[in-house]
Structure 1
Amino acid sequence: MGNALAHVVALSNERRRADRLWSVSRDLMLIIDSDGIFRSVSPSWTRILGHPVEEAIGRHFSDFMHPDDIASSTEALRHALNDRELTNYENRLRAVDGTYHRLQWHTTKDDGLVYAYGRDVTERREVEEALTESREQFRRLVQGVTDYAIYMLDPEGHVSSWNEGARRITGYEPNEIIGQHYACFYTDEDREREEPCKALEIARMEGRFLADGWRVRKDGERFRASVVIDAIRDDDGRPIGFASVTRDITEREESQRQLERAREALFHSQKMEAIGQLTGGIAHDFNNLLMAVMSSLELLRKRLPADPVSERLLHNALEGAQRGATLTQRMLAFARRQELNVDSVDVAELLSGMNDLVQRSIGPEWPITTRFPLRLPAVHADANQLEMALLNLIVNARDATPAGGPIVIKGSCENVKAGSATGLAPGSYVRIEVRDKGTGMDSETVRRATEPFFTTKGVGKGTGLGLSMVHGMAQQLGGTFELVSDVGQGTSAILWLPVSDCEKTKPAAPAHEETPPVKSRLTILAVDDDPLIRMNTAAMLEDLGHDVIEAHSGSDALRKFKSRPDIDLLITDQAMPNMTGIQLIAEIEVLRPNMPIIIASGYGDGLEVPGREIERIGKPYDQRRLAEAIAKVMGAQVG
């Protein structure tokens, strides 16, 4: 009786332990019948998958199975029901958030039911898959590298792996080299000095061997190589082989020279950009000063009594100021900030029209010859600026040939491909070359020739802005300018200009149109942040008979415009702090659409107003140019 009681107690305790194991196990335990219906699932079902236990009991296992695993899991259940226990069988169950967990199952059968417990191996499989993928990626990476020979060596130096780069550089196929000693890559002299063994010994002792030296390809050709050999060690630090990386550096010196040239070109480009920004800023400020000087002198001329000496002095002052204005235009051209009237220009026709005048100007000692194909495309350019540029190049050619000599101007159409040494965007260009047989220039002079104010001419014989202007104009048009010269061999000045998409156009004869009548007295709002410019502009306008309201900023002008509905015309500077002239025009356009407006600026870019044409006058301007602009804009308004 006592033994029976003890047996009952033991059985009860075992059942309690089983129940406790069922409740606390982190692995999933379940009972499934022969129809695939869950009879019971442990609480870890909720922990792993998130579904309440009661939702699973009585449901078919396929309700929670990944669709791709249903067929194989049905077959696995059949095996389990036939007394074939499953071990490490994996499938995927859907969690409440829609993701799938991979479970690894072990089963046993009892009384027609399958008892299974499954461990969540999702994270482990993800890590294993990531590791496998990482290894495969690394293998593909190493195998796919073609610039480096990457291969493994066993402890004695025999090749055990071979990548594509090794095949390309040395010429050996994997089946030809794997198992061979790597000393076959060394020259006979190095093998006699036992350099391969020394390299492995250094790598074994110090962990790494680095050197540049001569190596031999399969066909016997020698090449210069940069070699790194790293010792590979096991977890206990014992060497188990070597990893060798070899790079063919035969052309490294040439590549280094190319790199130095690229760095020099970049430095030069950055320097020229900085000089251009500085030059543009100086030219803008200088324009403002010239504006004040020229307008004051013009107004003073009207007020001085008739006196030949005073008139001559005044004329000289105006002439000097005008020369200064020409200099600023060249500076702005170098900085690519002058206004260009771009059109389709026939270069051959342009040169033909100016040839006689230029020939007479430079003298018969420098005969000009032009060589152009019959059908040279028109270029995208400003005809006046291009004419000035060609004149500069011709005069420079004359000055470079003091004893006289031919000047040849050639034109051709060239197709530029991507990556061209000219640095031009791909497309069609007209190449204009002005060639002389003069003294030529050394490389340093050629390098600095397009810098502003650099000149090889004597003091007072050149400003150093001619080539700078040509360079800036070409860059602004989307082309480029280059010089090719050797001392004693003459110089070629080459201008590249983009081919025009439009038909060649001939300048139309000026139309003799009557200027529409303009109101004799206008109320004009004059805006400029420079008090000298503002004062002189107001003085010129008042001298023309107009009433002037002055404003020192965009916000000041806007405020006065709102309070004065009688304003007939706005004349504004562009470069002002806080609010530019274009921004001011946009504000006024909202208040009074189609308001007559003139914008005055020394710069030629950034002056567009979407949706309307704005009359522009360049600084410095005189009273006549100002009057013409007013007549034009007011005439258009009346029309």
Structure 2
Amino acid sequence: MPHDARTTDNPDMARRIASFDWSATLGPIETWPVSLRTTVDLAILSPVPMVILWGADGIMIYNDAYSVFAGGRHPRLLGSKVLEGWPEAADLNREVLRVCLGGGTLEYKDLELSLNRRGTFEPLWVDLYYSPVLAEDGKPAGVIAIVVETTDRVRDAEALRQSETRLRFLDALGNAASVSRDADAILAITTRMVGEHMGASVCAYADMDEDQDGFSIRGDWAAPGSTSIVGHYSLADFGALAVKNLSAGEPLVVNDNLRELPAHEAATFQSIGISATICMPLVKEGRLTALMAVHHKQPHVWTEQEISLMREVTERSWAHVERVGAEAALQELNVNLEKRVADRTRELARTQDALRQAQKMEAVGQLTGGIAHDFNNLLTGISGSLEMLQRRLNDGKLAGVERYIDAAQSSSRRATALTQRLLAFSRRQTLAPKAIDVNRLVAGMEELIRRSVGPDVAVEVVGAGGLWTTLIDPSQLESALLNLCINARDAMAPDGGRLTIETANKWLDEHSARERDLPPGQYVSLCVTDTGTGMTDDVKDRAFDPFFTTKPLGQGTGLGLSMIYGFVRQSGGQVRIYSEVGKGTTMCLYLPRHQGPAEGDGTAESNAIDPGHGETVLVIDDEEIVRMLATDVLRESGYNVLEAADGPSGMKILQSDARIDLLVTDVGLPGGMNGRQVADAARVLRPTLKVLFITGYAENAVVGNGHLAPGMEVITKPFNVAALSTRVRDMIDRT
């Protein structure tokens, strides 16, 4: 774990976790399980808030980002039980522990909580993602939570909603005012139109000074449609009633200023030709900012309908004045909101990528351990047998040496099979595809399948008539079919059931092919159906994941379906699961149709070494032992053998006048030229030269993924010496 407190550039929580006394809860860090340490490492490096809840009590371990989210609860949350650390969210966390420790996941979007993070309860909104953390035995031992606070986003969205509602209301304003984008013009147009509707001869509006001591009156005093500044006035100029009402946000209504107002107050109205007025205050955030008014030059009795209309228009007009600012603010809000959402989405994606990478690395660790264990056993069998064989030869005791030879060869064959399984899992194996009749392959395996599934399982084979051929590695397909049948048997245990193996021709159109993640076209399907327990959606989603198994501990590696999936996908096909809980499962392999007849079964492999007749073979391999074995067996078979340890050395021989009937080259070579490059260069010099590639694992991609030029073939390591000699003889004899 990267929790060394001596490292000065470590995050704060890394140092806190390393120095915390865990003796009363999880025990010393050195004793923590690998899954817990790996998850803590991931959380510490994450830029978003993450917290691990370990064990049934949900012991809390979190990163720096979560410490900021926790506020005043940090650092006392570290090492505490989650139900005690967040008592106000106890019901939520109790459900989290129940579901995730049972193997499930939980997700909440914009969940509203009330938490006491800073001495008082506050509402907040969060996105929460909970996933189980699996222990080494494959069972959930803890929970990892990703916490993304969305309070700002939720509040911004609510503000956006309110703004949109307000904009819809503003759209109801009159056409004349709504087309304007200038505040002064909006007020001028509105007052003029209202005045015209009311039969007023004079309309005006006024802007208040910043200090509210005065305002400038603007109106159509001079000519219709024109706006001019009449003069600068204070509220007091219009008297105590104007000061009282307008300052309080109430309208000023005067029918006849000479009769209703003192002479010195009426004088101001009279000086600008006003006898009757309705003056409406425009108030923003409690502050008088402007006035809007309609006037009559003659006394006029304002009706309740006129006063109500003026009040309504004033409110709407003032709202419309604010519209320009609101739209600008809304646009800025949208831009900022989209940016924040995009930033948080990227942060979450980075965190999820890091989590997936950590899970992959943990899987690689498990795989490495399993490989080391199996290969150590196999190497022990090989090296021990060879050592005993050497002792017997040194002592001149040849009786019984065959069993050591058999033991070494058996271990070698098992190592070969293990390597092929691993390459199938990773989709890197070198396949030997043949055009086969799947019906014939199933018929040849039927007896083996019946013995493998036992008497409690009824086996039914339904082979399609006129089944198309498919280009596939038959031995790999046999292994896949047997694996599926054994899985089906286990799903029907202990009571047994019915196992159906069915083949069919499938023509997938655009829609059907897209559902199966395949190109449209013709396919051969091979389906295995059981009447077992079926799969849940969660199990179906994870069925092809490496190391995932529903079998009891020690009864399944979790690699079987992964290897089948890898082999079929590498062959250009697809695997699909159709299942219903309690009713059974169908596993279908979709294999591309091959346009051509099926090949024959071939002949059994022979250990006899085919002799040569003095032909010259050039062997290029950087592995000295492999090169020695190849040259020895070919020389003993009667061939003249030239050898080279790398590409450049081999090219020097190819550029000479030496006779060369066949080039045998490893694909992976040092010295700047791989085997395919050597072969291509050799074909330029010797166009009819035949080439046999030797490949150890994934170099089949280098030699062309099975698409080799005429006169080029491939043989995979490990191979027996008789097979090499037979292949060389066959290629040299072939015209």
TM-score, length basis structure 2: 0.45
Does residue 156 (structure 1) correspond to residue 139 (structure 2)? The answer is no
Instruction: Verify the 8 A CA contact 1:481 1:495 in the aligned structure 2.
Output: yes
Shift of 1:516: 13
Instruction: Verify the 8 A CA contact 1:439 1:489 in the aligned structure 2.
Output: yes
Does residue 529 (structure 1) correspond to residue 622 (structure 2)? The answer is yes
Q: Deviations over 1:384-408 (max 9, x none)?
A: 3323221221122223333222212
Match of 1:632 in 2: 730
Which one is further off, 489-498 or 620-629?
489-498
Shift of 1:367: 1.7
Match of 1:407 in 2: 499
Instruction: Verify the 8 A CA contact 2:434 2:599 in the aligned structure 1.
Output: no
Does residue 483 (structure 1) correspond to residue 614 (structure 2)? The answer is no
Instruction: Verify the 8 A CA contact 1:599 1:614 in the aligned structure 2.
Output: yes
Match of 1:356 among 424, 438, 447: 447
Shift of 1:470: 1.6
Instruction: Verify the 8 A CA contact 2:574 2:591 in the aligned structure 1.
Output: yes
Instruction: Verify the 8 A CA contact 1:233 1:239 in the aligned structure 2.
Output: no
Amino acid at match of 2:518: L
Alpha-carbon RMSD across the aligned residues, in angstroms, is 5.3
Instruction: Verify the 8 A CA contact 1:232 1:240 in the aligned structure 2.
Output: no
Q: Distance in 2 between the 1:559 and 1:332 partners? A: 34
Aligned residues: 400
Does residue 320 (structure 1) correspond to residue 411 (structure 2)? The answer is yes
Q: Distance in 1 between the 2:398 and 2:554 partners? A: 31
Q: Distance in 2 between the 1:591 and 1:376 partners? A: 46
Q: Deviations over 1:158-207 (max 9, x none)?
A: 2899xxxxxxxxxxxxxxxxxxxxxxxxxxxxxxxxxxxxxxxxxx98xx
Match of 1:607 among 695, 703, 710: 703
Amino acid at match of 1:322: R
Match of 1:64 in 2: none
Shift of 1:475: 0.8
Shift of 1:437: 2.8
Q: Distance in 2 between the 1:396 and 1:485 partners? A: 14
Structure-to-structure mapping, 1:553-592, within 5 angstroms: 553-563=646-656, 565-577=658-670, 578-592=672-686
Which one is further off, 485-494 or 593-602?
485-494
Cα pair distance change 1:265/1:396, threshold 3 Å: farther
Amino acid at match of 1:370: V
Q: Tell me, what secondary structure is at the counterpart of 1:593?
A: coil
Instruction: Verify the 8 A CA contact 2:612 2:638 in the aligned structure 1.
Output: no
Match of 1:552 in 2: 645
Amino acid at match of 1:473: F
Match of 1:166 in 2: none
Cα pair distance change 1:274/1:456, threshold 3 Å: closer
Q: Distance in 1 between the 2:172 and 2:323 partners? A: 22
Shift of 1:428: 3.5
Does residue 382 (structure 1) correspond to residue 473 (structure 2)? The answer is yes
Shift of 1:331: 2.2
Amino acid at match of 1:619: K
Match of 2:461 in 1: 370
Q: Distance in 1 between the 2:493 and 2:171 partners? A: 72
Instruction: Verify the 8 A CA contact 1:346 1:377 in the aligned structure 2.
Output: yes
Q: Distance in 2 between the 1:160 and 1:532 partners? A: 95
Q: Distance in 1 between the 2:681 and 2:420 partners? A: 30
Q: Distance in 1 between the 2:575 and 2:529 partners? A: 14
Instruction: Verify the 8 A CA contact 2:503 2:526 in the aligned structure 1.
Output: yes
Does residue 426 (structure 1) correspond to residue 520 (structure 2)? The answer is yes
Q: Tell me, what secondary structure is at the counterpart of 2:424?
A: helix
Match of 1:435 among 529, 532, 536: 529
Does residue 473 (structure 1) correspond to residue 567 (structure 2)? The answer is yes
Instruction: Verify the 8 A CA contact 1:343 1:380 in the aligned structure 2.
Output: yes
Q: Tell me, what secondary structure is at the counterpart of 2:497?
A: coil
Q: Tell me, what secondary structure is at the counterpart of 2:718?
A: coil
Match of 1:311 among 402, 412, 416: 402
Q: Distance in 2 between the 1:264 and 1:159 partners? A: 50
Cα pair distance change 1:570/1:452, threshold 3 Å: farther
Cα pair distance change 1:238/1:405, threshold 3 Å: closer
Q: Distance in 1 between the 2:619 and 2:165 partners? A: 78
Cα pair distance change 1:299/1:630, threshold 3 Å: farther
Amino acid at match of 1:594: T
Shift of 1:425: 2.2
Q: Distance in 2 between the 1:541 and 1:295 partners? A: 25
Q: Distance in 1 between the 2:440 and 2:354 partners? A: 37
Q: Deviations over 1:25-75 (max 9, x none)?
A: xxxxxxxxxxxxxxxxxxxxxxxxxxxxxxxxxxxxxxxxxxxxxxxxxxx
Shift of 1:565: 0.9
Cα pair distance change 1:445/1:153, threshold 3 Å: closer
For structure 2, the 5+ residue unaligned runs are: 1-163, 176-283, 286-318, 335-347
Shift of 1:624: 1.0
Q: Deviations over 1:8-34 (max 9, x none)?
A: xxxxxxxxxxxxxxxxxxxxxxxxxxx
Q: Tell me, what secondary structure is at the counterpart of 1:336?
A: coil
Q: Tell me, what secondary structure is at the counterpart of 1:420?
A: helix
Cα pair distance change 1:265/1:365, threshold 3 Å: farther
Shift of 1:320: 1.5
TM-score, length basis structure 1: 0.50
Cα pair distance change 1:568/1:267, threshold 3 Å: farther
Does residue 497 (structure 1) correspond to residue 591 (structure 2)? The answer is yes
Q: Tell me, what secondary structure is at the counterpart of 2:591?
A: strand
Cα pair distance change 1:562/1:244, threshold 3 Å: closer
Shift of 1:492: 2.5
Amino acid at match of 1:371: V
Q: Deviations over 1:68-90 (max 9, x none)?
A: xxxxxxxxxxxxxxxxxxxxxxx
Q: Tell me, what secondary structure is at the counterpart of 2:515?
A: coil
Match of 1:346 among 423, 428, 437: 437
Q: Distance in 2 between the 1:155 and 1:438 partners? A: 62
Q: Tell me, what secondary structure is at the counterpart of 2:676?
A: helix
Amino acid at match of 1:526: V
Instruction: Verify the 8 A CA contact 1:431 1:495 in the aligned structure 2.
Output: yes
Q: Deviations over 1:124-181 (max 9, x none)?
A: xxxxxxxxxxxxxxxxxxxxxxxxxx999487342899xxxxxxxxxxxxxxxxxxxx
Amino acid at match of 2:500: V
Instruction: Verify the 8 A CA contact 1:233 1:241 in the aligned structure 2.
Output: no
Match of 2:482 in 1: 391
Shift of 1:572: 0.7
Amino acid at match of 2:576: E
Instruction: Verify the 8 A CA contact 1:152 1:241 in the aligned structure 2.
Output: no
Cα pair distance change 1:463/1:326, threshold 3 Å: farther
Cα pair distance change 1:406/1:520, threshold 3 Å: same
Match of 1:332 in 2: 423
Shift of 1:463: 5.4
Amino acid at match of 1:533: V
Q: Tell me, what secondary structure is at the counterpart of 1:367?
A: strand
Instruction: Verify the 8 A CA contact 2:423 2:429 in the aligned structure 1.
Output: yes
Q: Tell me, what secondary structure is at the counterpart of 2:514?
A: coil
Instruction: Verify the 8 A CA contact 2:385 2:407 in the aligned structure 1.
Output: no
Q: Tell me, what secondary structure is at the counterpart of 2:170?
A: coil
Q: Distance in 2 between the 1:241 and 1:456 partners? A: 56
